Amino acid sequence: MNTIIKNGLLVLIILLGVIPVYSGGFQVNEHGARATGMAGAVYATLNDASAVHFNPGALSFMDGTHIMFGTTLIFPKGKFRGPFPSVDQTDMESPMSYPSVFYASHTLSNGLAFGFGMFNPYGSGTKWPDNWVGRNLAMESSLRTFFFNPTVSYRVTDYMGIAVGFNYVYSDIDLQQGVSFEPTFAGNGDVRLTGSGSGIGWNIGLYTNITPEFSAGLAFRSGVGLDLEGDAEYTDIPRQIGEAGLLPGDKIEASVTLPANLFAGIAYTGIDKLTIGLGFQYVFWSSVEEIALTFTDTGNEDALVFNYVNSYIARIGFEYQVNSDLAVRAGYLFDKNPTPDEYMRPGIPDADRHGFTLGVGYQINDKIGVDFGYLFIRFNERRIENSNVEYKTGARMNGVYNVSGHLPSINFKFNL
């Protein structure tokens, strides 16, 4: 592929890379308001249908039919200072997103349980000003993934339940950014990529009551390979590019893999009215080394190297049962980012982060309850001085990133 076009259109590969590699920023782990209030430390303390996601092994310990649905609102905020030696600041615009959940489960008297979940573990978006210095790396990105997850759980003994599930995953993207062909051609253009794809995966869960006061949970979700097809739409491209037939193509295919996740937790209920949960999530990001891109109508190919490393999230959460109807919650999490400094990009602003949570649950009657959760997440300031990413020929995207987010959530649950 012509070097000029390769550099200019490498953006498309970067944008496709948002799907699997926006680990902390775009890996949404808020899949229930009770769990949000406890910083997600619920793998061993589950009493509602969100167990379909967090640990389906617990479904076999529930009675009857449970239904739950709700949403989380994500309000991101970010800024970038640079590129060095400049200290100019650009504020990221804050498109609100709302990953949502639906769960249903039914447990038979013999301990056999069936569950179904729909949730969005990868989503949200970023938006930078159209005329900012890094427009050739990122302007706007929107990503949605939908996991459809039927599962079966069985209570092997009075103290242990196991589960296995199947995941069908659908994803769509709408991504935009600038394209520059300077210094060979004057002017800048834009490119918009829209596409979708699907894949399948599986999950398992184990839940056990070690003693009357201690419980433990272990769950695993496989990686999911997505085969994506999309269209590239170019605007304001210099006339010479089109006349020379130098655009790489309009039809795009790519294959990417959402990473596997391992979840483990313990819970302690030996203090009157108080539940303490500890959780650990290990994310296998090292499976994402590069993204290959093919323009199917022209045969042009390219690849972007990520070299991501495995990461983890450590969690602690508390739930205090004020009375039979009211529970209050709080928690803390630390999320280790997988992104090497050299590959940090404004379309994927990432850093180690700290999350602080609050929550409340109210049982309206014996059949209906409502939960509220809130997460404030603060990214550590990320200073990049050894970037391999060029925002224009010969100029590296070194600078300082600051990002934070507010995530309120609500869900309704029904016990039938």
**What is the tens place of the pLDDT at every residue in 307-345?**
888 999 999 999 999 999 999 999 999 999 988 889 888
What are 45's two structure tokens? 């303390």
Query: What pTM was computed for the model?
Result: 0.88
Question: Which domain does 288 fall in, by range?
Answer: 3-415
Q: Which of 243, 278, 286 is nearest to 261 (CA)?
A: 286
> Is 302 a residue whose pLDDT tops 80?
no
What are 11's two structure tokens? 């953006």
Terminal CA-to-CA distance of the chain, rounded, Å? 61
Q: In whole angstroms, how far apart are CA 366 and each of 48, 274, 413?
A: 13, 21, 11
Share above pLDDT 90 across residues of the chain, in percent, rounded to a whole number: 54
Total domain count, the chain: 1
> Is 18 a residue whose pLDDT tops 80?
no
> Is 191 a residue whose pLDDT tops 90?
no
Q: Which of 355, 358, 384 is nearest to 372 (CA)?
A: 358
Least confident of 17-21, 53-57, 70-74, 372-376: 17-21
What is the pLDDT averaged over residues 73-101?
86
User: What is the model's pLDDT at position 53?
Assistant: 96
Share above pLDDT 70 across residues of the chain, in percent, rounded to a whole number: 88
User: What is the model's pLDDT at position 301?
Assistant: 75
What is the pLDDT averaged over residues 279-283?
96
What is the pLDDT averaged over residues 356-379?
96
Q: How many CB atoms lie within 10 A of CB 324?
A: 8
Question: Whole-number mean pLDDT of the chain?
Answer: 86
CATH number at residue 395: 2.40.160.60
